[in-house]
A and B are shown apart, each in its own frame.
Chain A
Amino acid sequence: MLALKMLLRSWRGRQLGLIFSSLVLAVAVVTSVALLAERVELALVKESSSFLAADLVVSSSVAIESGWLERAAEEGVRTARTASFASMTYFGDEMHLASLKAVESSYPLRGALKRSSVPFAIDDADIESVGSGPQPGELWVDSRLLPLLNVELGDAIDVGDGSFKVTQILIEEPDSGSSFSAFGARILMNWQDLPASGVIQPGSRVSYRLLIAANEGQADNFDTYVDWLKQQLDVHDRIITPDEAQASIASTMDKGRRFLLLAGSIGVVLAGIALALASHHFANGQLLQVALFKGWGISANAVRRLYIQQIILLGIAGSAVGLLVGWGFHQLLITTVREWLPIALPAAGLKPWITGFATGILCLIGFTLPALWHLPTQSPLAVLRRDIQSKSLNSLVRGSLGVLTVAVLLFWYSRNLYLSMAILFGFAITAAASIAVGLVLLRLGKTYGHWMGSIWRLALSNLWRRKKPSLIQMVGFSGAIALLMIMVVVRTSLIDEWRWQLADDAPNHFLVNVAAYELDGVKSLVNERELETAGWYSMVRGRITHLNNQLPSQVAKDGHESLRRELNLSWTSDLPEGNMIVKGQWWQANTAPASGLAPVSLEDELAGELGLSLGDTVRFSVGGLSFDAEVTSTRSLNWESMTPNFYFLFPEGYLEDYPRTHMTSLYIPGEEKLLVNDLLRKYPTVQVIELDKIIDRIRTIVSQVTRGLEMMTLMILGCGILVMFAAVSLSMSERLQESAILRTLGSSRGLILGVQWVEFTTLGMMAGLLAALGAEFAVAMLQRFMFSLPFSWHSWLWIAGPLGGGLLVGLLGVVYSRKAVTQPPLQVLNSL
């Protein structure tokens, strides 16, 4: 096949290297990201299910109806019931108000329980993962229950009317989450023991859960059941999805995923630019051959067919190699982030491969085909005269085709309008500015260049003389620099945002409900261990009794926990960090509502759920006293931070007289963990919220996601360098020829390299400047719409852009043209 032969010869002649590598890179970037995204997605669904210990959970304040279980059995859906409640536990003279959870034998449906026979086990060797909870008659308990009750493994303790043997240390439940409602040591017991223990009496406050999960391969039945179940739900019942179960991890992962997408999209666009430049270069190299063909009487159609066949072959070969490279790179990425990928990753489907392959073909159609479009119409006359210009496709048409392809790729690939638009506009602005401003700058350079030395004069007039390739190069350089800038800026701001999570001494425990008389004791306990708290906050516990002067209905009470429970009320003059006012206004000094009531600021979603808006009143009952407050603002909270978040905030001067308790957060290193036990033993009413496990988990995830991002960044940098190469090589043969001729005329090495240096540095500096413009714009869009980060100027872009661009492009140009001074001129000319 002639097309294949021609292709192989071009390959041998190194005319295809850039096209081929750009193509391979485009396909590889897309394939690796698509493979990774799909596999991680699949894994995450599984992983987040294990956070719930189920695929879906119904949480209820009343016992789960038996009809639901029967229906589930009919549908072949797995179920497990749990009941959580607080109960006194006794051993000898000691007692402790523990948090119990009774679980059916099928629990957990997803994920695993971790247990140990060593109290306070930290060593992995001592910890065992198992698929079900305690047998009837047995209890698995938190390590700290042992010192609290002064028991050892094997002892029997009393719970309610029953006596149970403590058989295992409970290290971790999959669905423990950041259980802010846990008061005391956690105890896991068997569901069958519930009646005998008699701990659940009418009126006991129990949180029931129905865990459900699909059987292998029966997702349809599961969906049918869930649909049915949703119709059965009452005001007592609430559905919890896996996403809700792990909000802070989900948001980290989500941003990581978005960055992956962004990087992938940028990679594709970069590879696309490189491909377009390389194709342009390739087409120029084919002009003589086509002119000869035409001279030999080959019809335009035959020429067209030959080149289309070549493109198809190239597309198939390039995409195939790209798929392979992409697969390899995704393996590499997976190895990097292996540790947080829990289970064996599910295999990806066919889709990523199709996506990758289609990208290759689309890139060729969008970037290579237009560049070669004019070849068949090449005049045979070109073999006689050099001044015959080929009628290449209007560069406007070509540009639009390229932009269209980029747009299609971006959107098809990211399914994200904002991302596509940001990159597209960022790039379009850069390109348009490069052409318009570039022309003016080049002109200015030529006009004023003669004030400078001879090198400058020569270089600047060269640039002007070659203005068309110069402009194309500038679009290439500035586009690449802009896209790289976008990526680096977003990456940096993401990593900065995560940095606090990576900080080793971020608070990992909260001490809540410390009574005023206990405060000094707790403080000294903490001080003895030389630990530092993040400062103490005061709060008051109260209930809501009336909304707008009316008792809340029973329905509303059933529907909302905050109407049933004691709430934490706190006060502050300054809006806490991470909070944002949604409606109304934060209090200014000494301003109170006209009604004379206490102003209160509510968490926005809670306000919605309670049906409260600005100006409504809420009556609180605190320690037997009641007072009304007027809603003056609503706030959104930052759930990603591990800082205390308050649903109800008052200004200073309203709550100080009520009995208050104190809270703080602090970092307790693993080896000081026994502090919690000392503390709880001495001050049993103090509530300790342990976030250390969750934080460790987030920290691993973040650091691995970060590493993944770094690798992705490197790969994209590779794409960027490829664009630079493509752009530099664009004018190289002409430059080398001119340099060689200058050399034969006896020009010094300094002059020749100097001219190249000045030309490329000038191009690079202009490109860097224009890139900063486009990048700033795109980053603003991305931060606003995709990563919900505040807008900020990046002044360093405007300095680093021109400097970096000039240096990089200048160096690349000089390295490329060094041949002109290191080799004898004739060799240089011959090699062109």
Chain B
Amino acid sequence: MIEVSNVSKQVVTSEGTLDILDGINLSVEAGETLAIIGSSGSGKSTLLGILAGLDLPTSGTVCIDGQDITAMDEEGRAGVRAGHVGFVFQSFHLLPGLTALENVALPLELQGIDDALQTAKHYLERVGLGQRVSHYPRQLSGGEQQRVALARAFACRPTLLFADEPTGNLDTGTGKKINDLLFELNKEEGTTLILVTHEKTLAARCKRTLELQAGRQLAEPTGITA
């Protein structure tokens, strides 16, 4: 499903060139689960963005479903993402002017789905926020906001879900529930999960793990390759 070869990312700053990622190789099959781990600043979020086609590597290629997205233009990549890629961002990115329900429904509405609000409500209930649908993000706690972001990602029933520390702000109990939800989605719908996490337990539930250290892959992803 995703084929990454020799991906490097450099940025030019006032203090010279900075290597954020260096020679990443990776392949993820449909329906697999992958955890990306590593210390803060090791390049996890950057890699996730590149995998999703939101960002471009300085060198190397990323293929999704056999298409080299690094060779495409912005519109082409958008076309690849459309409808089957979901994200949960590290900083949530909920729209402040919309209620929780509307935030979740928005991507569905964009796809022209009729019962967008119904579906959105359903997923909000599944993340345990059935009572907070009409609240605005600023009225929600960090963890609640994160769950809204998760519901928004789930609601699209993506075939490929990227999540940047999806349970980072949650207590163990809630975190577990969310994790269960993630893996349910993976089981029921065959969603490919690519997660960035600091949590050992979550990483352990994934089939494979990729560890980054200062932008370098520590070892070949562990686990069973299909």
Contact = CB atoms under 8 A, between A and B. Distances in A.
A and B associate: yes
Contacts of B49: 381, 384
B138 A830 contact: yes
B45 A384 contact: yes
Contacts of B45: 384
Interface string A5-40: 100011011010000000000000000000000000
Among A288, A289, A380, find the residue whose CB has the most chain B CB atoms closer than 10 A.
Answer: A380
B87 A295 contact: yes
Contacts of B78: 294, 297-300, 380
Contacts of B83: 297
Nearest to A300: B75
Interface string A380-397: 110110000000000000
B110 A296 contact: yes
Interface residues on B, range: 20 to 34
Interface in B45-87: 45-46, 49, 52, 54-55, 74-75, 78-83, 85, 87
B110 A2 contact: yes
Nearest 8 CB-CB pairings of A with B: A297-B82, A13-B97, A297-B81, A830-B138, A384-B49, A297-B78, A380-B54, A296-B107
Interface in B164-197: none
A379 interface: yes
A831 interface: yes
Contacts of A610: none
Given A297-B81, A299-B78, A831-B138, A383 B89 contact: yes
Contact of B55 (A2, A288, A294, A381): A381
A299 to B, nearest CB: 5
B85 A10 contact: no
B129 interface: no
A530 B145 CA distance: 88
A383 B54 contact: yes
B22 interface: no
Contacts of B107: 296
A139 B83 CA distance: 95
B95 interface: yes
14 contacts: A13-B96, A293-B110, A294-B74, A294-B78, A296-B107, A299-B79, A300-B75, A379-B74, A380-B74, A383-B54, A383-B93, A384-B45, A384-B49, A832-B96
A486 B126 CA distance: 62
Contacts of A694: none
Interface string A204-218: 000000000000000
A716 B49 CA distance: 50
A292 interface: yes
B45 to A, nearest CB: 7
A10 B80 CA distance: 29
Contacts of A5: 109
Interface in A264-307: 285, 288-289, 292-300, 302
B109 A2 contact: yes
Given A297-B83, A383-B89, A384-B46, 18 more contacts: A10-B97, A13-B98, A289-B95, A294-B74, A295-B87, A296-B81, A296-B82, A296-B85, A296-B107, A297-B81, A298-B110, A299-B79, A300-B74, A300-B75, A300-B78, A384-B45, A384-B49, A832-B96
B2 interface: no
B31 to A, nearest CB: 21
Among A12, A302, A379, A383, find the residue whose CB has the most chain B CB atoms closer than 10 A.
Answer: A383
Nearest to B55: A381
Chain A binding surface, main DSSP class: helix
Interface of A: 2, 5, 9-10, 12-13, 15, 285, 288-289, 292-300, 302, 379-381, 383-384, 830-832
B102 interface: yes
Nearest to B102: A9
Contacts of A379: 74
Interface of B: 45-46, 49, 52, 54-55, 74-75, 78-83, 85, 87, 89, 93, 95-98, 102, 106-107, 109-110, 112, 138, 156
A487 to B, nearest CB: 36
A178 B74 CA distance: 78
Contact of B54 (A9, A15, A300, A381): A381
A384 B49 CA distance: 7
A12 B97 contact: yes
A2 to B, nearest CB: 5
A295 B54 contact: yes
A828 to B, nearest CB: 11
A823 B52 CA distance: 41
A293 B85 CA distance: 12
Nearest to A2: B109
Contact of A299 (B75, B89, B109): B75
A379 B78 CA distance: 10
A380 B73 CA distance: 12
Contacts of B98: 9, 13
A297 B87 CA distance: 11
Contact of B82 (A289, A298, A384): A298
Nearest to B158: A296
Nearest to B85: A297
B95 A288 contact: yes
A292 B74 contact: no
A556 B120 CA distance: 94
Nearest to B156: A296
A379 B85 CA distance: 17
A13 B102 CA distance: 13
Contacts of B74: 294, 300, 379-380
Contacts of A292: 93, 95, 106
B93 A288 contact: yes
Contacts of A289: 95
Contacts of B80: 297
A586 B184 CA distance: 104
A268 B52 CA distance: 47
A13 B80 CA distance: 32
Nearest to A830: B138
A420 to B, nearest CB: 39
A134 B93 CA distance: 88
Nearest to A11: B97
A293 to B, nearest CB: 7
Nearest to B164: A384
A199 B82 CA distance: 101
A5 to B, nearest CB: 7
A437 to B, nearest CB: 30
A636 to B, nearest CB: 64
Contacts of A288: 93, 95
A9 B110 CA distance: 15
A15 B75 contact: no
Contacts of A381: 49, 54-55
B50 to A, nearest CB: 10
Contacts of B95: 288-289, 292
A413 B93 CA distance: 45
Nearest to A291: B93
B215 to A, nearest CB: 16
Contacts of A830: 138
A10 B45 CA distance: 30
Contacts of A384: 45-46, 49, 54-55, 89
Contact of A295 (B46, B81, B138): B81
Nearest to A10: B97
Nearest to B81: A297
A297 B79 contact: yes
A12 B89 CA distance: 26
Contacts of A297: 78-83, 85
A282 to B, nearest CB: 11
Nearest to B53: A380
Contacts of B156: 296
Contacts of B109: 2, 5
Given A296-B110, A296-B156, A300-B74, A9 B97 contact: yes
Contacts of A293: 110
Nearest to B46: A384
Contacts of A12: 97
